[in-house]
């Protein structure tokens, strides 16, 4: 039996040629890896970050790999910046919001200021950008918004209270916007990274016992490198994911599927 004549070529669907992607947090870590991965798939990438020099460096890396990229400084804690960015790149096909900030303290030791900071960057910053770009994409009738939550939206440990709450909020914002924009041609999905070796996990890396415990917890029993996030981002950004919206894509090495505390002899 042959495939129906109207079946598209999956390689064509996975290509991002002709698409414009705005990546927030592109200066380093998972944002940088996402930007490079999208450019490798053919997208023109706008690298945005509070660290404008870092965003420029990422754009230069992309150019050195034969891709197309520009850069600019942008503050996701500013509604004015979010609105201006969405206006400047009103034709963007893809939005990726990656920044994260964590304060690892037991809840009873946290302060109002720490709570406000974690929420403003992780949750409200994502909200601002989803709202600004979502409006533009809905008007055009197309687009893919990819938010970054965390596996901590699902599983926690002592010291993760505010961060986990913020990332769980990102998941719910993502599901809600996917529901609201479903008939407009705009898809909205969340990626939930697990243990990736980035600046956000420097505190853990500086504690060998903590680092090793995390290393052995997942099914793969290792930390992830930043580039390993790019495949999930590229898929959700592409037309190959045309029927995927409102989802939470775990990229956690099997952490949440695998209880790594003990392996019985069976």
State the CATH architecture for 17-248. 3-Layer(aba) Sandwich (3.40)
| Average pLDDT for 54-79 | 97
Instruction: Give the C-alpha distances (Å, rounded to integers) separating 91 from 2, 4, 7, 23, 42.
Output: 38, 33, 28, 14, 16
Report the pLDDT value the prediction gives residue 203, as an integer from 0 to 100.
86
Is the pLDDT reported for residue 264 higher than 60? no
Is the pLDDT reported for residue 150 higher than 60? yes
Query: In the structure, what pLDDT confidence band is assigned to residue 3 with cuts at 50, 70 and 90?
Result: low
What pLDDT, in 10s, does the model give residues 175-229? Answer: 999 999 999 999 999 999 999 988 778 888 888 888 898 888 899 999 999 999 9
| Average pLDDT for 35-54 | 98
Is the pLDDT reported for residue 1 higher than 70? no
Rounded CA-CA distance 171/97 in Å is 12
Rounded CA-CA distance 121/108 in Å is 21
Is the pLDDT reported for residue 82 higher than 70? yes
Rounded CA-CA distance 128/124 in Å is 6
Report the pLDDT value the prediction gives residue 258, as an integer from 0 to 100.
84
Is the pLDDT reported for residue 266 higher than 90? no
Report the pLDDT value the prediction gives residue 2, as an integer from 0 to 100.
64
Q: Within 41-124, where are the H helices?
A: 52-64, 79-88, 112-119
What pLDDT, in 10s, does the model give residues 231-249? Answer: 999 999 999 999 999 999 9
Instruction: Give the C-alpha distances (Å, rounded to integers) separating 112 from 92, 104, 118, 122, 153.
Output: 36, 14, 10, 15, 21
Q: Which of 7, 89, 127, 163 is catalytic?
A: 163
89 is catalytic: no
Higher pLDDT, 32 or 104: 32
Rounded CA-CA distance 182/262 in Å is 42
Which residues does 117 contact at the CB level (< 8 Å), separation at least 6?
101, 103
Tokens for 18, please give them.
């002709």
Is the pLDDT reported for residue 262 higher than 80? no
Rounded CA-CA distance 265/130 in Å is 48
Supply the mean pLDDT for the chain.
94
Tokens for 146, please give them.
């990819």
């Amino acid at each position: 039996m042959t495939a129906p004549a109207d079946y598209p070529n999956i390689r064509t669907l996975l290509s991002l040629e002709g698409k414009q992607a705005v990546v927030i947090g592109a200066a380093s870590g998972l944002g940088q890896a996402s930007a490079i991965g999208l450019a490798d798939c053919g997208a023109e990438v706008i690298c945005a970050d509070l660290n404008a020099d870092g965003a420029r460096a990422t754009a230069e890396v992309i150019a050195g790999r034969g891709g197309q990229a520009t850069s600019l400084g942008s503050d996701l804690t500013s509604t004015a910046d979010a609105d201006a960015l969405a206006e400047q790149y009103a034709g963007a096909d893809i939005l990726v919001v990656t920044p994260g900030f964590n304060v690892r303290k037991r809840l009873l030791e946290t302060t109002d200021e720490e709570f406000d900071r974690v929420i403003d960057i992780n949750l409200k910053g994502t909200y601002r950008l989803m709202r600004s770009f979502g409006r533009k994409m809905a008007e055009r009738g197309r687009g893919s918004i990819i938010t970054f939550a965390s596996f901590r939206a699902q599983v926690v440990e002592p010291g993760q209270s505010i961060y986990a709450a913020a990332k769980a909020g990102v998941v719910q914002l993502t599901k809600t916007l996917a529901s609201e924009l479903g008939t407009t041609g705009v898809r909205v999905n969340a990626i939930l990274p697990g243990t990736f070796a980035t600046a956000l996990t420097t505190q853990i890396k500086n504690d060998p016992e903590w680092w090793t415990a995390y290393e052995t917890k997942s099914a793969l029993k290792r930390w992830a490198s930043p580039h390993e996030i790019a495949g999930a981002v590229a898929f959700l950004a592409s037309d190959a994911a045309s029927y995927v919206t409102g989802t939470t894509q775990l990229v956690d090495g099997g952490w949440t599927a695998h209880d790594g505390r003990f392996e019985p002899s069976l």
